[in-house]
């Protein structure tokens, strides 16, 4: 066990302890008098005891609130009537039904945690999920308390001309002393985490959307006035998302207005507050000169995500925070479908799978492993994880595959109709899908309860006499913290068998009369399953787990030639990419071993030829080619090593990239030239693919360390009319020692230093440079005025980028990367525990490194653990990491 001075374990909340609340709050009438130095809030609550609940004290949640007064049914309460501590306010005895009026004071200017009501660029904004509302007023701050809100905002008219909250504006006007007010009413009962307020100097763009039933919805995007020229893409994305949700899920928007506000200081991407989304400006602001194609795609995806929450999250919400994946997993699945419909579905799937396997599989293998419905937490904000979100989406995707699009839609229709206006559990979601389809997902529910990544071991035997192909699939799952035993999962395994020309063989199992053409989904339920396919004319090449039909690790022995064959011929484009990717992983792991054993690196001609063929093969989907040419990341490769060796991974990666560049130089050059931009920037799938492939070719060519190519790269940097091409050039120049590098960084800074989002790119690019002096440069950058510790985007851009995306430098054996991160965690924790906790997680896999690195990382964890005042956010992760 851990021996540190100050780690008293924080209080743990358990799913098994969930109890329905004794009291309900039906309406809340809020009155804010906003002032930056202090804000006063009057909250009037209509409270009643639930039928059947015994009289009990009323315990309201609170955090950092100053209580000014309480009145119960008009009577002022005194200190003998209630009890207060740092976390709650308890009224000992209350009637069955009553009105409570509470006055509170808070200090938004000092709120650096960015939870509750705070100030960003002189404007007021809120973030209440998960438990920020209790930092605004005393409340039953839990998602199963759904109330109707009215909100009156009073503020100085000159400083805060725009006053927004959820729902409809029902009154506004002027007050004395230069103040004005606005009154908002939200007709839909909602949990407190969806409350929002914004006040400030903001400009807006406005548009409208006519819903399928003919209602007009006014759409507004509010930004700081100087950003007004960067909102169009966000607005267009919103309209597309609204139309898509009607077409695909039959979900119509329900209020007469939909507002989005962009703020610079925000802990995460965006927040789906009812009718008033608040966004990190990174996911709103874009114009070709300042935002890359990837930024444009993220904006579209996040706008979609928050919009889709209006049904999957807001109209039907979570009973408690253990059910977070109910809204997040489902909504991520929905936003993935939406984005897939906007470009190449294969490429979108490749991106999502890459992300899942790089980050979620890691989480599953470390101390923070948890099921998508966790059993316990100390700080719920630590559970907004890739497991809850992305693995949660994979679980919904499996349900979608098992039911098919029509069955799934029947299920979601039932779910939305049955539970509209309710706070429910993941179990109720699954039950709706079952009931609508007469399906049985009892075994499938294990995906919600069991953590860990299942592994499939598949092998096939062909019998030429019987013309059968027997596929055996065994499943296992490693133990995770507090779950040593795992039962077999219910797993959809999509597959095809390829004939010698690369066509899918029709698949017929024993006992079936007609074969199924194309991809077939087999269902695994037992620890071992055997499938015998009939009428197979010759030994096929198996293409398993098509489209990554389940979040598992698949082990299947194929030769390099078979993988190259799949890369060239598989009818499933995802699996074409996967075959090349698996081959690259295998080659890189061999190179890593060679490096560790001091052997010289060997070329793999089969791989070079296969990549060459993709590059010159006239494939129409250029984004697909880009992915096929991109090697598995250093981060992802570490997943396959018992003891992670960042240096060996880096050297192997470098060698293979250089090798490909040397051998395919002419093809890369020719492709680079042929994809030159002729028209002005456009955000279309075709143009995005073209730019991506061209820049990938540039990246390879830059591996050749050729001064002419540096020059060519610099020319691209100078001449580009869009940020995608500018950044592509800069981010490869930054690894070099060339004069072009410093020159380009300088020019970029001079041009963009007034634009914080563009400066984030400038910081990140330098932080992930492969140059050995990177940490020194990063430290210098922390001293520049463009870096601000209180701004999460800056912390992520510089410190996060260095520690998470520059493994070879961060893990330098002198330990300086580790102590740098330790320093910043300690500086950040008192300011913003959520962001500090995210950074601490970088150390989670410390046990997977060699002894020397283990000791150095552990030292930092212990150093953090020994600090006297540490947030429970950071504490929870440090304890799990060390124990």
Residues forming the site for ligand B3K (CB under 6 A): 129-130, 268, 270-272, 305-306, 309, 328, 381, 384
**Least separation in angstroms between CB 389 and Zn ion:** 7
Q: Closer to ligand B3K at the Cβ: 224 or 317?
A: 317
Which of 122, 156, 120, 139 is closest to 195 using CA atoms? 139
Q: Closer to Zn ion at the Cβ: 271 or 652?
A: 271
Return the number of other C-beta atoms located less than 10 Å from residue 537's C-beta.
10
**Least separation in angstroms between CB 423 and ligand B3K:** 15
Task: Select the binding partner of residue 130 from Zn ion, ligand B3K, none (C-beta < 5 to 8 A, by kind).
Answer: ligand B3K
C-alpha dihedral, 782 to 786 to 791 to 795, nearest 10°: -40
Q: Which of residues 175-234 bind Zn ion (CB under 5 A)?
A: none
**Least separation in angstroms between CB 579 and ligand B3K:** 34
Task: Select the binding partner of residue 645 from Zn ion, ligand B3K, none (C-beta < 5 to 8 A, by kind).
Answer: none
Helix (H) or strand (E) holding 474: strand 468-477
Does residue 300 carry a catalytic annotation?
no
Return the number of other C-beta atoms located less than 10 Å from residue 56's C-beta.
12
Instruction: Give 571's Cβ-side CA count (13 Å radius).
Output: 19
**Least separation in angstroms between CB 380 and ligand B3K:** 8
Which of 374, 242, 400 is closest to 307 using CA atoms? 242
Task: Select the binding partner of residue 271 from ligand B3K, Zn ion, none (C-beta < 5 to 8 A, by kind).
Answer: ligand B3K
Task: Select the binding partner of residue 129 from Zn ion, ligand B3K, none (C-beta < 5 to 8 A, by kind).
Answer: ligand B3K
C-alpha Rg value of the chain to the nearest Å: 28
711-748 exposure pattern, b = at least 16 Cβ within 10 A, e = fewer:
ebbbebbeebebbbbbbbbbbbbbbbebebbeebbeeb
Which of 685, 761, 693 is closest to 723 using CA atoms? 761
**Least separation in angstroms between CB 839 and ligand B3K:** 15
Q: Closer to Zn ion at the Cβ: 139 or 384?
A: 384
Task: Select the binding partner of residue 524 from Zn ion, ligand B3K, none (C-beta < 5 to 8 A, by kind).
Answer: none
Locate 182 and state its tokens: 């606005």
DSSP string, 229-258: GG-HHHHHHHHHHHHHHHHHH-----SSEE
d(CA 132, CA 873): 14
Locate 193 and state its tokens: 């985490």
Task: Select the binding partner of residue 373 from ligand B3K, Zn ion, none (C-beta < 5 to 8 A, by kind).
Answer: none
553 Cα distance to chain centroid: 21
Q: Closer to Zn ion at the Cβ: 333 or 710?
A: 333
Which of 745, 733, 741, 818 is closest to 775 using CA atoms? 818
Q: Closer to ligand B3K at the Cβ: 382 or 724?
A: 382
**Least separation in angstroms between CB 824 and ligand B3K:** 20
d(CA 543, CA 570): 7
Query: Which residue among the candidates 300, 306, 363, 876 is catalytic per the annotation?
Result: 306
DSSP string, 652-666: HHHHHHHHHHHHTHH
**Least separation in angstroms between CB 408 and ligand B3K:** 21
**Least separation in angstroms between CB 382 and Zn ion:** 16
d(CA 257, CA 275): 7
- Classified as helix, coil or strand, 79 is coil
Q: Closer to ligand B3K at the Cβ: 377 or 787?
A: 377
Segments of 191-237 assigned E as strands:
197-200, 203-210, 216-223
**Least separation in angstroms between CB 278 and ligand B3K:** 10
179 Cα distance to chain centroid: 40
| Count of residues near Zn ion by CB under 5 A | 2
Q: Closer to Zn ion at the Cβ: 324 or 369?
A: 324
d(CA 650, CA 633): 10
Q: Which of residues 12-71 bind Zn ion (CB under 5 A)?
A: none
Return the number of other C-beta atoms located less than 10 Å from residue 580's C-beta.
24
**Least separation in angstroms between CB 301 and ligand B3K:** 11
Q: Closer to ligand B3K at the Cβ: 271 or 660?
A: 271
Q: Closer to ligand B3K at the Cβ: 384 or 408?
A: 384
492 Cα distance to chain centroid: 24
Q: Closer to ligand B3K at the Cβ: 82 or 133?
A: 133
Interface map 309-348 toward Zn ion (x if CB under 5 A) = -------------------x--x-----------------
457 Cα distance to chain centroid: 29
Segments of 738-801 assigned E as strands:
none
Judge contact between 94 and 53, C-beta under 8 A: no
d(CA 631, CA 633): 6
Judge contact between 577 and 350, C-beta under 8 A: yes
**Residues in touch with Zn ion (CB under 5 A):** 328, 331
What residues are annotated to the active site? 306
């Amino acid at each position: 066990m851990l021996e540190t001075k100050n780690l008293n374990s924080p209080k743990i909340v358990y799913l098994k302890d969930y109890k329905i609340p004794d009291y309900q709050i039906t309406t809340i009438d809020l009155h804010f008098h906003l002032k930056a130095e202090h804000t006063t809030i009057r909250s009037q609550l209509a409270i009643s005891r639930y039928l059947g609940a015994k009289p009990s004290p009323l315990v309201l949640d609170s955090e950092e609130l100053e209580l000014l007064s309480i009145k119960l049914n008009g009577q002022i309460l005194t200190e003998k009537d209630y009890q207060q501590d740092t976390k709650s306010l308890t009224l000992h005895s209350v009637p069955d039904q009553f009105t409570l009026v509470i006055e509170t004071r808070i200090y938004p200017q000092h709120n650096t945690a960015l939870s509750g009501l705070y100030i960003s660029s002189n404007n007021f904004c809120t973030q209440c999920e998960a438990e920020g509302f209790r930092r605004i007023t005393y409340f039953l701050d839990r998602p199963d308390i759904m109330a109707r809100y009215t909100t009156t905002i009073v503020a100085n008219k000159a400083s805060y001309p725009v006053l927004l909250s959820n729902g409809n504006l029902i009154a506004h006007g002027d007050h004395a002393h230069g103040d004005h007010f606005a009154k908002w009413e939200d007709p839909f009962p909602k949990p407190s985490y969806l409350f929002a307020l914004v006040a400030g100097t903001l400009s807006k763009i406005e548009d409208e959307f006519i819903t399928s039933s003919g209602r007009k919805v006014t759409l507004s995007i509010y930004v700081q006035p100087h950003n007004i020229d960067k909102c169009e893409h966000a607005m267009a994305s919103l309209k597309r998302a609204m139309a898509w949700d009607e077409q695909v899920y039959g979900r119509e928007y329900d209020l007469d207005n939909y507002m989005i506000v962009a703020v610079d200081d925000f802990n995460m991407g965006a927040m789906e507050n009812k009718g008033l989304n608040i966004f990190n400006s990174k996911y709103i602001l874009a114009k070709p000169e300042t935002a890359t194609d990837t930024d444009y795609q993220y904006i579209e995806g996040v706008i979609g995500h928050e919009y889709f929450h209006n049904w999957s999250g807001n109209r039907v919400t979570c009973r408690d925070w253990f059910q977070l994946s109910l809204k997040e997993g489902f909504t991520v699945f929905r936003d993935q479908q939406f984005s897939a419909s906007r470009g190449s579905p294969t490429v979108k799937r490749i991106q999502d799978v890459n992300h899942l396997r790089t980050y979620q599989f890691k989480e599953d293998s470390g101390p923070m492993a948890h099921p998508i419905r966790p059993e316990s937490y100390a700080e719920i904000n630590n559970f907004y994880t890739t497991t809850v979100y992305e693995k949660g989406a994979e679980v919904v995707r499996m349900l979608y595959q098992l039911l098919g699009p029509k069955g799934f839609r029947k299920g979601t229709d039932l779910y939305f109709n049955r539970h509209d206006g309710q706070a429910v559990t993941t179990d109720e979601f699954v039950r709706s899908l079952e009931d609508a389809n007469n399906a049985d997902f009892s075994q499938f529910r294990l995906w919600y309860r069991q953590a860990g990544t299942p592994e499939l071991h598949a092998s096939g035997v062909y019998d030429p006499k019987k013309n059968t192909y027997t596929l055996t699939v065994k499943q296992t799952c490693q133990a995770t913290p507090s779950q040593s035993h795992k039962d077999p999962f219910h797993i959809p395994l999509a597959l095809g068998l390829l004939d010698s020309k690369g066509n899918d063989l029709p698949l017929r199992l024993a006992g079936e009369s007609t074969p199924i053409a194309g991809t077939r989904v087999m269902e695994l339920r037992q620890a071992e399953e055997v499938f015998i396919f009939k009428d197979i004319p010759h030994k096929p090449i198996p293409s398993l787990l098509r489209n990554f039909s389940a979040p598992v690790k698949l082990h299947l022995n194929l030769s390099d030639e078979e993988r190259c064959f799949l890369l060239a011929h598989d009818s499933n484009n995802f699996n074409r990419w996967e075959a090349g990717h698996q081959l690259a992983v295998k080659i890189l792991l061999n190179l890593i071993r060679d490096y560790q054993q001091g052997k010289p690196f060997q070329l793999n001609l089969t791989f070079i030829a296969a990549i060459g063929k993709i590059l010159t093969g006239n494939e129409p989907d250029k984004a697909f080619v880009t992915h096929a040419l991109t090697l598995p990341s250093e981060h992802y490769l570490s997943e396959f090593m018992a003891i992670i060796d960042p240096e060996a991974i880096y050297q192997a990666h470098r060698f293979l990239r250089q090798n490909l560049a040397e051998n395919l130089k002419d093809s890369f050059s020719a492709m680079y030239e042929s994809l030159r931009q002729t028209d002005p920037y456009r955000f279309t799938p075709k143009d995005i693919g073209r730019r991506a492939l061209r820049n990938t070719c540039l990246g390879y060519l830059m591996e050749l360390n050729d001064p002419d190519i540096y020059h060519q790269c610099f020319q691209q940097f100078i001449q580009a009319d869009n940020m995608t091409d500018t950044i592509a050039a800069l981010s490869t120049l930054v690894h070099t020692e060339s004069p072009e590098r410093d020159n380009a960084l300088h020019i970029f800074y001079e041009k963009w230093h007034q634009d914080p989002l563009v400066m984030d790119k400038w910081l990140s690019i330098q932080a992930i440079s492969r140059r050995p002096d990177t940490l020194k440069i990063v430290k210098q950058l922390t001293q520049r005025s463009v870096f601000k510790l209180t701004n999460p985007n800056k912390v992520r851009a510089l410190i996060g980028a260095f520690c998470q995306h520059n493994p070879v430098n961060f893990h330098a054996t002198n330990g300086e990367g580790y102590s740098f991160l330790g320093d910043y965690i300690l500086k950040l924790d008192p300011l913003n525990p959520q962001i500090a906790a995210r950074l601490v997680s970088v150390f989670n896999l410390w046990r997977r490194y060699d002894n020397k690195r283990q000791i150095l990382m552990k030292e930092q964890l212990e150093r953090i653990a020994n600090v006297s005042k540490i947030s429970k956010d950071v504490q929870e992760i440090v304890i799990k990491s060390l124990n």
